[in-house]
């Protein structure tokens, strides 16, 4: 009987795997295919122009039009290789001629079979150009048909070319150019700073909001709903509102700050890289624009942490706080010795989640500053490389470096974090 139960369990397990196979296949297709494609492109010298297959280009122009039978129609072909990097092989040009026209040009590359003229041009090197004049002798049938426009006749021009996307030519030049450039390492430092401080800021704000709303009072439900607004509002809307409020000339923050003598003059919070601040006789450059972006990100995503922390706070046994009251513990002692240890696990998970989300965050910085004033992070650098500079290979290389940084962080987290907090 034990053998039969084991066999039945094995059959049920196989059936479960087969039933889950479509789900696994869809997940692998959605996750793995883009990752593998990015890895592939990061080792290829691909630009935006390479996404369109190289093709021959031919412009047609009629130089002479026959008026009498026996006269010639002269068609000029201005041809070129549309690619400056890839050679074209087996280039052919075919045209279906109107009735009554016959090829009269003595060019060994061009032949006529029935009503179709075909020219085989062989291989065109990158940037190749040629002008060819083809003469066609017209008879009465062509003129009786009203001398049809030859340029409107069906034309087919083809060629074979090596596609850089599918070829087996690989290079490390993308990684070499990115890692040895002057922009990558400062951008990496900005990315880590933005990600770490934004994660900490959003968690601290979420902790403060959760502690505030963990007590029972009138209007508690309304406040909880209002606290969720930054997270559910469209990021493009709140980003433009912040940009308007922080505008150095018409923004509310500058107007109020100058009216109350808090600011000596207009401050460009999103466009000024740094301001000099003196503390205890020491002067240092304070990263203004980056700090503003971090504050925006902390405010925008703190409701995510707020919901998790509030749920965990409500699960903390009240007996522990009552025992602390009996022992004479104050609010800070209860927070430090009761609340914080109970929140340690969820705070660690929140930091991991926020780090993963923010290190890939593109729209916040792009909408607020466009990556200017010392705020460019790696996702914005991916955009600049792939689309502003039209270098898909370099953009993919930056994306893979970002992926490696994220993997390294996850490894360190799971390697050194306590097992109870994973």
Find the length of the chain: 422
Looking at residue 74, which CATH number applies to its domain?
2.60.40.290
Percent of the chain at pLDDT exceeding 90: 43
Say whether 321 sits in a helix, a strand or coil.
helix
- Across the range 9-18, mean pLDDT stands at 82
pLDDT digits (tens, 9 = 90+) for 26-63: 888 887 888 888 899 999 888 887 777 888 999 999 99
Distances (CA, A) of 311 to 144, 213, 307: 89, 11, 6
Domain match, 410 and 330 both: yes
324 and 210 in a single domain? The answer is: yes
What pLDDT sits at residue 417? Answer: 62
The pLDDT tens digits of the residues spanning 87-104 come to 999 999 999 999 999 999
How many domains does the chain contain in total?
Answer: 3
Residue 169 lies in a domain: no
Place of tokens 């412009």: 59
Residues 241 and 204 occupy one common structural domain: yes
Across 52-56, 116-120, 380-384, least confident range? 52-56
Kindly state whether residues 35 and 70 are assigned to the same domain: no
Are both 308 and 405 inside the same structural domain?
A: yes
pLDDT range class, residue 418, cuts 50, 70, 90: low
Q: Which residues have a Cβ under 8 Å from the Cβ of 92 and sit 6 or more positions away?
A: 118, 119, 120, 121, 156, 157, 158, 159
Residue 168 in any domain: the answer is no
Is residue 368 one of the residues assigned to a domain? yes
The answer as to whether 216 is a domain residue is yes
pLDDT of residue 422: 55
Q: Provide the 10 A C-beta neighbour count for residue 174.
A: 25
| pLDDT tens track for 145-164 | 888 899 889 999 999 988 77
Question: Is 244 part of a structural domain of the chain?
Answer: yes
What integer pLDDT is reported at residue 112 of this predicted model?
93
pLDDT for 3 equals 46
Distances (CA, A) of 57 to 31, 78, 131, 158, 395: 38, 8, 12, 9, 30
> In this model, does residue 281 exceed pLDDT 80?
no
Q: Which two tokens stand for residue 187?
A: 């951008």
Taking the mean position of all CA atoms in its chain, how far away is CA 136? 53
DSSP assignment of 29-93, as one string? HHHHHHHHHHHHHHTS---GGGGSPP-EEEEEEEEE---STT-EEEEEEEEEES-SS--EEEEEE
Note down the domain range covering 269.
175-421
Give me the CATH number covering residue 391.
Answer: 1.10.3720.10
Here the tokens at position 41 are 């492109």
Task: State the pLDDT confidence band at 345, using cuts at 50, 70 and 90.
Answer: confident
Question: Are 82 and 192 in a shared domain?
Answer: no
Are 25 and 135 in a shared domain? no
How crowded is the C-beta side of 53, counted as CA atoms within 13 Å?
A: 11
Neighbouring C-alpha atoms within 13 Å toward the C-beta of 51: 9
* Residues 261 and 394 occupy one common structural domain: yes
> In terms of Cα–Cα distance, which of 224, 168, 203 is closest to 301?
203
**Which residues make beta-bridge pairs with 130?**
79
Is the pLDDT confidence value at 79 over 90?
A: yes
Whether 125 contacts 89, CB under 8 Å: no
392 and 295 in one domain?
Answer: yes
- Residue 311 shares a structural domain with residue 380: yes
Asked whether residue 308 carries a pLDDT value surpassing 80, the answer given is yes
Alpha helix segments (H runs only) across 279-377: 288-313, 318-326, 331-334, 340-359, 363-368
Confidence of residue 1 (pLDDT cuts 50, 70, 90): very low
Stretch 74-94: mean pLDDT: 91
Q: Which of 161, 188, 207 is the last residue of a domain?
A: 161
The crossing angle, in degrees rounded to 10, of helices 340-359 and 184-212 is 140
pTM: 0.78
Mean pLDDT of the chain: 87
- Domain match, 324 and 217 both: yes
Q: Is residue 133 part of a domain?
A: yes
Percent of the chain beyond pLDDT 70? 97
pLDDT-derived band at 114, boundaries 50, 70, 90: confident
pLDDT score of 74: 93
206 and 122 fall within a common domain: no
Residue 27, pLDDT score: 81
- What's the CA dihedral at 229, 235, 241, 247 to 10 degrees? 140
> At which of 161, 186, 219 does a domain end?
161
Domain end among 137, 161, 185:
161
Strands 116-124 and 56-64: unpaired
Quick one: DSSP state of residue 98?
P
């Amino acid at each position: 009987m034990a053998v039969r139960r084991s066999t039945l369990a094995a059959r049920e397990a196989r059936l479960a795997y087969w039933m889950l196979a479509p789900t696994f296949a869809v997940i692998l297709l959605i996750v793995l295919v883009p990752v593998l494609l990015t890895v592939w492109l990061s080792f290829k010298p691909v630009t935006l122009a390479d996404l369109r297959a190289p093709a021959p280009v031919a412009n047609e122009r009629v130089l002479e039009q026959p008026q009498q039978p026996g006269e010639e129609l002269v068609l000029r072909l201005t041809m070129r290789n549309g690619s400056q990097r890839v050679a074209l092989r087996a280039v052919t040009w075919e045209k279906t001629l109107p009735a009554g026209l016959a090829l009269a040009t003595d060019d060994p590359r061009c032949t006529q079979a029935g009503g179709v003229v075909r020219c085989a041009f062989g291989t065109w090197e990158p940037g190749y150009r040629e002008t060819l004049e083809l003469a066609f002798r017209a008879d009465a049938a062509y003129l009786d048909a009203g001398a049809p426009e030859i340029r409107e006749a069906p034309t087919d021009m083809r060629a074979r070319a090596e596609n850089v996307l599918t070829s087996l030519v690989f290079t490390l030049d993308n990684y070499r150019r990115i890692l040895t450039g002057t922009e990558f390492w400062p951008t990496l430092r900005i990315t880590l700073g933005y990600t770490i401080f934004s994660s900490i800021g959003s968690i601290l704000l979420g902790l403060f909001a959760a502690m505030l709303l963990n007590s029972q009072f009138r209007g508690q439900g309304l406040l909880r709903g209002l606290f969720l607004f930054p997270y559910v509002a469209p990021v493009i809307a709140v980003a433009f509102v912040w940009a308007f409020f922080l505008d150095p000339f018409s923004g509310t923050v500058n107007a109020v700050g100058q009216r109350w003598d808090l600011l000596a003059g207009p401050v460009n919070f999103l466009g000024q890289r740094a301001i000099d601040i003196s503390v205890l006789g020491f002067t240092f450059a304070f990263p203004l624009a980056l700090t503003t972006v971090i504050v925006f990100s902390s405010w925008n995503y703190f409701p995510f942490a707020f919901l998790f922390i509030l749920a965990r706070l409500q699960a903390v046994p009240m007996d522990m706080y009552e025992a602390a009251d009996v022992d004479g513990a104050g609010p800070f002692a209860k927070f430090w010795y009761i609340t914080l240890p109970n929140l340690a696990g969820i705070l660690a998970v929140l930091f991991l989640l926020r780090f993963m989300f923010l290190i890939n965050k593109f729209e916040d910085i792009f909408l607020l500053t466009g990556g200017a004033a010392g705020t460019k992070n790696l996702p914005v650098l991916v955009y600049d490389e792939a689309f502003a500079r039209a270098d898909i290979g370099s953009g993919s290389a930056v994306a893979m470096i970002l992926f490696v940084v994220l993997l390294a962080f996850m490894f360190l987290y799971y390697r050194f974090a306590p097992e109870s907090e994973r």
